[in-house]
Structure 1
Amino acid sequence: MSDPSAYIFDTAAVLHNRARAETYGNDHTFLKQEISDRLHDRLHDITRPFQSVLDIGGDFARFSGMPATTLSISDTPLPTSDNQFDLVISNLVMHWVNDLPGLLIQLNRALKPDGLMMAAMFGGETLKELRHSLLAAESELTGGAHGRVIPFADVKTLGSLLQRAGFALPVTDMDTLTVTYEHPLKLLADLRGMGEANALLDRPKNFMRRDVLSRALEIYSRDYAQSDGRVPATFQIIYLTGWHPHESQQKPAKRGSGQVSLAAALKAGAPPQK
């Protein structure tokens, strides 16, 4: 597990934001519903039954209707046993985990041999328009800037973390969704309703100055508004898939086991010479 002194998220604030979002009902859950559907579609491509399922975050089970044990992610060890589940799945919550390498190791241990871990989380391009607008406005009006949109991991880093956690056959891929809004304030309301309000440990503890927020909204509209006046918000979704190792799984070929040299392959594929 990583050093807690290096943590960047306020776990209590993360849990508070999620609990508050639950009181808003389903008015802001369209994105989690969409990604839950996409995860469900991916599971349909795997021709095996999953008898014991662990839902990390709770959203997938709620939206998909799949029976599962649900747990809320925190920075404490998961209350699970080794080799307990056929499937571990997570829908748009793992980007708030301080010790993501440690969590992935725990999830791998919780899986039975040849069990599957599948997760979706926000990637590095998420909310790039909002990040730019807030930084530009605060820098312009106060001479400095605070982190108001959290950092998101990129696909290469997450792929490496899957390997380090001991998953077999690790795969990462991504989608980019663009949601358009009548006004940037609508985006802020959705983020609050999804439980995605700022929970950085070093976040400003006072409300953003009204003039800074107003200027950020102006910059957002100025720099990103489409011809119809609506503004886009980018959500990059990274999917992580890995299996608990099992002897039946496909293994990569040993180094040097190829029967055709690279030079011969290149020569074979070259156009004929005149």
Structure 2
Amino acid sequence: MLKFYALAVLPLIDPTRALSGSRDRAAWLMRPNDSFVDAVAENLLDRLEDCKKSFPTALCLGGSLEAVRRLLGGRGGIEKLIMMDASYDMIKLCKDTEKDVHNENIETSYIVGDEEFLPLKESSVDVVLSCLGLHWTNDLPGSMIQCRLALKPDGIFLGAILGGETLKELRIACTVAQMEREGGISPRISPLAQVRDAGNLLSRAGFALPGVDVDEYIVKYQSALELIEHLRSMGETNALLQRNNMLNRETALATAAIYDSMFAAEDGTIPATFQVIFMTGWREHSSQQKAKRRGSATVSFKDIQKKFGNGN
């Protein structure tokens, strides 16, 4: 059973207070031109340039809205951009910074809304972009289905979510510290998708021509405290329903010490791994390539083996 199935049945993430509070705080603390966030947004937007068609109307969901808007740069032939986030403060920030974005030909509108209940008509947009946002969704398959339905035929979904290897160093240090200081562990980091699940998710949501690839980013920090502050500015702090509201002070200090002793580099910095899963899917259209009917092959593997040998 995939992790996503469990998320669809039992809410793990608090969609009201904790998550919206994290997004509000991220709007207040957001770093200007965050190099990691910008790198992910650039990677996602580059996929628009790989397409030989234009996408006049685009929906951008949650996550790194400001980076996507700032770095869009005319890619994809987007003329109308709808930006949506569950946080009013994040939407206000994006709107306030619009004057600094040099995409004068793009008509931009802003919506406060939930990714699990898209306030859009079916077949109303040409592309859906989600950069570092959908991993916070409880009903991820349901949200993906809504994204597909919002797309016009032959429209494209482009998403980037944090994968299960993200912050593996912090997970290890925190687990060891909790075992030492508290005699047990509680979830401090929200559950994330595994790479093997992403393709199944796209297929389950009904996307045609699904594609998945993975990038790993190593970000260096001066201390564990700087890492935590960066996560806060990204809105990536813990939003689990079954979480301890405060981390014991001794456990927090032990986590930082263990992190430093286990992972510190020679220059004194500590690395943090961010695994990003990029997903691509299309809404079905008659012009798209389709798999051949089962049994329609005209060449057998035996014939290929006779011609080219067994490879030994």
Same fold (TM over 0.5): yes
- Provide the C-alpha distance between the structure 1 equivalents of 2:258 and 2:286, rounded to a whole number of angstroms: 56
Give the root-mean-square deviation of aligned CA atoms.
2.1
- Unpaired segments of 5 or more residues in structure 2? 75-79, 87-113
List aligned pairs for 1:1-274, cutoff 5 A. Answer: 6-12=10-16, 13-27=18-32, 29-57=34-62, 58-59=65-66, 60-64=68-72, 67-72=80-85, 74=114, 76-205=116-245, 207-270=246-309
Contact 2:36 2:219 in 1 (8 A): no
Deviation at 1:167, TM superposition (A): 0.4
Deviation at 1:63, TM superposition (A): 4.0
Contact 2:61 2:128 in 1 (8 A): yes
- Provide the C-alpha distance between the structure 1 equivalents of 2:117 and 2:25, rounded to a whole number of angstroms: 24
TM-score under structure 2 length normalisation = 0.82
- Provide the C-alpha distance between the structure 1 equivalents of 2:232 and 2:30, rounded to a whole number of angstroms: 12
- Provide the C-alpha distance between the structure 1 equivalents of 2:33 and 2:15, rounded to a whole number of angstroms: 22
Contact 2:120 2:150 in 1 (8 A): yes
Deviation at 1:257, TM superposition (A): 1.5
- Provide the C-alpha distance between the structure 2 equivalents of 1:235 and 1:53, rounded to a whole number of angstroms: 27
What do the CA deviations read for 1:45-95 (whole angstroms, capped 9, x no partner)? Answer: 112111010001134224425651011253641101000000001000111
Deviation at 1:28, TM superposition (A): 7.5
Contact 1:28 1:194 in 2 (8 A): no
**Structure 2 CA distance for partners of 1:245 and 1:211, relative to 1, 3 Å:** same
Deviation at 1:2, TM superposition (A): 8.2
**Structure 2 CA distance for partners of 1:139 and 1:86, relative to 1, 3 Å:** same
- Provide the C-alpha distance between the structure 1 equivalents of 2:158 and 2:126, rounded to a whole number of angstroms: 11
Deviation at 1:231, TM superposition (A): 1.1
Q: One-letter code of the match for 1:192?
A: R
Count of aligned pairs between the two proteins: 272
Q: One-letter code of the match for 2:14?
A: D
Deviation at 1:271, TM superposition (A): 6.8
Deviation at 1:40, TM superposition (A): 1.5
The SS at the match of 2:29 is coil
**Structure 2 CA distance for partners of 1:155 and 1:5, relative to 1, 3 Å:** closer
Contact 1:75 1:99 in 2 (8 A): no
Q: One-letter code of the match for 2:34?
A: T
Contact 1:92 1:120 in 2 (8 A): yes
What do the CA deviations read for 1:174-212 (whole angstroms, capped 9, x no partner)? Answer: 10111111211111110011111111111102x211110
- Provide the C-alpha distance between the structure 2 equivalents of 1:272 and 1:216, rounded to a whole number of angstroms: 51
Q: One-letter code of the match for 2:247?
A: M
Q: One-letter code of the match for 2:142?
A: G
Contact 2:124 2:152 in 1 (8 A): yes
Q: Identity across aligned pairs (percent)?
A: 39
Deviation at 1:227, TM superposition (A): 2.0
- Provide the C-alpha distance between the structure 1 equivalents of 2:311 and 2:25, rounded to a whole number of angstroms: 68
- Provide the C-alpha distance between the structure 2 equivalents of 1:17 and 1:272, rounded to a whole number of angstroms: 55
**Structure 2 CA distance for partners of 1:272 and 1:86, relative to 1, 3 Å:** closer
The SS at the match of 2:159 is strand
Deviation at 1:31, TM superposition (A): 2.1
